Structure 1
Amino acid sequence: MEKVENEEASWTICPECHGSGKKSRKLSKKIRLLYQIALDQFEKTKDEGTAPVRPKAHLYSCLNCSGSGLLPSAAPPIADTENYPHIAIIGGGIGGIALAVACLHRGIPFTIFERDNNFDARSQGYGLTLQQASKAIEGLGIFSLKEGVTSTRHIVHTTEGKVIGEWGIRKWVQPDTKTTSKRSNIHIARQSLRLALLEQLGGHDMVQWGHQLIDFKECKDEGIDLTFQVNGDIKSFKADMVVGADGIRSSVRKSLIGEDSTPLRYLGCIVILGICPLSALEGLTSSLLDSATVFQTANGNERIYMMPYTSDSVMWQLSFPMPEKEAKELSAQGPDALKEEACRRTQWHDPIPQILAATQAAQISGYPVYDRELLKVELLEKGGQVTLIGDAAHPMSPFKGQGANQALLDALTLARGISKGCRPLSQWRKAGLRENVLNEFESEMLERSAVKVKDSAEAAQFLHSEIVLHESDAPRGRCLKNKDT
């Protein structure tokens, strides 16, 4: 399929793969026969022993849609209110808007609610790195990110500037060799990705801004009643399914499973973030500021990570251990205090001191780092027609860059699950959305994200220890995994 510019087309799901982006090869006659023989034998022994596992067909990328699951269309599908459930999405961040986009492509009716009054109400100016989700965004109709910056080199230094690790495509190939996005990471401002998703959705008017969720409860007949506070008034809304995409302090999660079962877990460190335009570094030249290099510097306690933010700016992330009470107090003091602390701790090799000094206080923020204990499927199963995605389901530290990636994958997987589980002959109203959609989705989501949560928590420890100074041309922490194998 020829790639179409994002703004030039609406999208609908590919009829050949039903929007999944993959098709399954038929099982060979031999494999089907062997399974049937094993099943017959198991039944003859009156179900003694272990039942044979039904073989699964191998999946391959759908050629009709180039694996995206989408095809261009003159207009988005009309919402199918007769066959599909109406989804109430709580939260207009990346995960929530991505879910709305994926529902739009499939004709699944939805309403997205956001407590902020508008797109720019809160500072959400940090950058993120698309890894596994680089392919997922194609499944959301985004085939090019105008504001995205691709990195092809990653360097680790000591505070004196000694290189103790380097990897990336540019270490292994000639500089003039053309690289592919499959072998590199895409860095983009969070708000830029959010805006690209909003454009897919049809613009800002598709979000119900200024809606603070107060409560929700299942109706006696069917569906869920939601209550919002809007400009001081109380408004009600009814939906068939509720999806909490409202972040690490999710109101939906709190109502669904409470705060006591999986409270916020402090990971022992604080993060200070800043964004600096390259134009502010007049007279400073460094190969590290070529808009294609990620670098980090550490001393076993403090660690700074710098990446391209846009083609003409960088984002830095300084982190270090600190008691929770002190981290909260420092964060509450505001950007000037955070900048002073960051500069004091990073009188290291060039261009780090210059970048921090040139960063405007208005572009600096900081916060203590938290996650939560992994959710058990059983906790969500009690939620009826309510589920969670993104940080609401599996918050994690920022040190593996996986939060946005997992939220995008959650959104696409859930929309595909609704499309599959609620087809016209599915009788989902009788069987229930939990049975037809949510149980399978939640099992996959929690299994996929669990390792990311665990690795991100471990990174909060080893990135601020002597391990980070291990000399190796590989991501930090790789040596720990090698010891375990």
Structure 2
Amino acid sequence: MNTPTSHTACPDCHGLGKQNRGLSKRAKQRYQKALEVYQRFPDNPKPVKPKAHLQVCPTCSGSGLLPAPQPPKPDNTRFPHVAIIGSGIGGTALAVACLHRGIPFTLYERDADFDTRAQGYGLTLQQAHTAVKGFGIDTLGQGIVSTRHIAHTPDGTVLGEWGMRKWDTQTNVTPKRTNIHIARQNLRSALLEQLSGADAIRWGHQLNGFNQTEAGIQLKFDSQGNATTAHADLLVGADGIRSSVRELLFEQEPYPLRYLDCIVILGICALSDLQNAAQELLDQKTVFQTANGNERMYMMPYDPEHMMWQFSYPLAEAEAKSLSAQGAEALKKEVQKRTNWHAPIPQIIEATPAALISGYPVYDRELLRPLDFASCGPVTLLGDAAHPMSPFKGQGANQALLDALALAQRISKVCKPNTSWKNTNLRKKILTPFETEMLKRSATKVEASARAARVLHSDQVLQERDGPRGGGKQ
């Protein structure tokens, strides 16, 4: 992974990555003329003042950050102290974004340390350069750029092919809008490297409760069997689809988990364990999927030495829970029973160790509304805690990164230099605008991901065309 470099928010764009370009002369003239007409004929609709266009900040090239010898010191007068629950992608990204802006924070994680969590599976960062540059990460050392996607039937018949190698075989230039496949733990490690020296991570802290008082938020933790407390001014739940913060925040969950009628089984296979790893589909630049209208296998590079696979099919919820609970060996046997398909699928499943196989029923939730947060005070959610979605559009990590950056930017924008945050209504000025934007942005992703769960396990996936699957409507 890349060597960590300290960063600070760009002063020219205030860490937003964009600047106000101002109105064009023509736009000003049109508005002025419309205003004059309105003044003469006030019964007409009042003209709306046009908004200025934004442009990429030339100083920071749109990242919102500049290299610095060290990150800014936390400013406890200007900013509230942010308690972040959960050190997954979203929580760690928020901590990094706070660090770069001098926003005081503490990151709490129930795991004893980074290595407690299982190896984790792969994810796809869409428009990857844009996704990570706002967190001070210039390169992802273990990330792999895929250049070809292929869809097959079980006998190996190609239904469609797309990607760089399909459309432009002459280019040697990697486009900026690339998708990067990376192990979840590698991305998490890259983010945690940004926090080295910050002394703001509390491992082994399981949140048990919190109380809101006039003085702030009192947090209650179980830390290695001991009851501990901490104080914060703003609380963010970034603790996943079964969020403890969400459970404590809403006395009655407004939107229970919604089963999407399928199970997902995942595995990681070392290429060195395959007898014929030199074949075309295993060149570590190809993503391929195979489906029969019911079951679907998706395979992508995990890192330079491994492939990750994702097998899914419709199953009643009770059966999906039962199969998942039976463990890795049972999951592997179920996949093998269903995938006597074209090479190298059976060979990859056979070579995958049980220790690197897991499975789970797929859930999402109906999306929260901004009004659901109205009485929540200085407490909010992000990532899967706020808007869980199926894995079939690969959007979970991307949306969590966007959430984290948006919240830190909002805090920095509202809490002006040389002022006290205590004069700011955190709910009204920061959290409600943040949640409104987050929920609007993620709504289409949640809906598309749920739709993909249906389409990818139907005959629609068998259409012959050169393009991604899962985007059709039922």
With the shorter chain as reference, the TM-score category is over 0.9
Contact 2:451/2:473, CA 8 A, preserved across alignment: no
Q: Which runs of 4+ in 1 moved over 6 A?
A: 43-46
Moved more, 52-61 or 351-360: 52-61
Contact 1:296/1:306, CA 8 A, preserved across alignment: yes
Q: Deviations over 1:114-141 (max 9, x none)?
A: 1111112222510000004531310100
Q: Give the whole-Å Cα distance in 2 for the aligned partners of 1:320 and 1:445.
A: 30
Partner residue, 1:28: 24
1:143 aligns with 2:138: yes
Q: Give the whole-Å Cα distance in 2 for the aligned partners of 1:334 and 1:107.
A: 45
Q: Give the whole-Å Cα distance in 2 for the aligned partners of 1:36 and 1:239.
A: 48
Q: Give the whole-Å Cα distance in 2 for the aligned partners of 1:280 and 1:196.
A: 28
1:216, CA displacement in angstroms? 1.3
Q: Give the whole-Å Cα distance in 1 for the aligned partners of 2:166 and 2:416.
A: 49
Q: Deviations over 1:342-370 (max 9, x none)?
A: 11110000000000000000010000000
Contact 2:127/2:177, CA 8 A, preserved across alignment: no
Q: Give the whole-Å Cα distance in 1 for the aligned partners of 2:405 and 2:323.
A: 38
1:60 aligns with 2:55: yes
Say which SS state the counterpart of residue 437 (structure 1) adopts: helix
Contact 1:380/1:387, CA 8 A, preserved across alignment: yes
Q: Give the whole-Å Cα distance in 2 for the aligned partners of 1:131 and 1:273.
A: 20
1:99 aligns with 2:94: yes
Partner residue, 2:409: 416
User: How many correspondences in the alignment?
Assistant: 474
1:386, CA displacement in angstroms? 0.7
1:217 aligns with 2:211: yes
1:34, CA displacement in angstroms? 3.5
Partner residue, 2:129: 134
Unaligned runs of 5+ in 1: none
Q: Give the whole-Å Cα distance in 2 for the aligned partners of 1:450 and 1:251.
A: 22
Contact 2:452/2:471, CA 8 A, preserved across alignment: no
- In structure 2, the CA distance between the partners of 1:51 and 1:397, relative to structure 1 (3 Å rule), is farther
Q: Give the whole-Å Cα distance in 2 for the aligned partners of 1:101 and 1:8.
A: 12
1:438, CA displacement in angstroms? 1.1
Q: Give the whole-Å Cα distance in 1 for the aligned partners of 2:279 and 2:113.
A: 39
Q: Give the whole-Å Cα distance in 2 for the aligned partners of 1:81 and 1:43.
A: 48
The residue type paired with residue 136 of structure 2 is G
Q: Give the whole-Å Cα distance in 1 for the aligned partners of 2:378 and 2:265.
A: 38
- In structure 2, the CA distance between the partners of 1:50 and 1:403, relative to structure 1 (3 Å rule), is farther
Moved more, 456-465 or 120-129: 120-129
Contact 1:154/1:168, CA 8 A, preserved across alignment: yes
Q: Give the whole-Å Cα distance in 1 for the aligned partners of 2:79 and 2:199.
A: 23
Say which SS state the counterpart of residue 116 (structure 2) adopts: coil
Say which SS state the counterpart of residue 182 (structure 1) adopts: coil
Q: Give the whole-Å Cα distance in 2 for the aligned partners of 1:246 and 1:118.
A: 16
The residue type paired with residue 197 of structure 1 is L
- Alignment partner for residue 9 of structure 1, among 5, 8, 12? 5
Partner residue, 2:257: 264
1:380 aligns with 2:376: no
Partner residue, 1:168: 163
Q: Give the whole-Å Cα distance in 2 for the aligned partners of 1:204 and 1:103.
A: 11
Q: Give the whole-Å Cα distance in 1 for the aligned partners of 2:208 and 2:40.
A: 57
Contact 1:86/1:110, CA 8 A, preserved across alignment: yes
Q: Deviations over 1:440-483 (max 9, x none)?
A: 111111111000000000000010000000111011144549xx
1:120-269 equivalent positions in 2, closer than 5 A: 120-174=115-169, 177-202=171-196, 206-219=200-213, 221-269=214-262
- In structure 2, the CA distance between the partners of 1:416 and 1:148, relative to structure 1 (3 Å rule), is same
Q: Deviations over 1:192-218 (max 9, x none)?
A: 000000001116954201111111121
Percent of residue pairs identical: 60
1:35, CA displacement in angstroms? 3.0
Q: Give the whole-Å Cα distance in 1 for the aligned partners of 2:142 and 2:61.
A: 23
Moved more, 36-45 or 65-74: 36-45
Pairwise CA RMSD: 1.9
1:258, CA displacement in angstroms? 3.9
The residue type paired with residue 417 of structure 1 is R
Partner residue, 1:447: 440
- In structure 2, the CA distance between the partners of 1:203 and 1:427, relative to structure 1 (3 Å rule), is closer
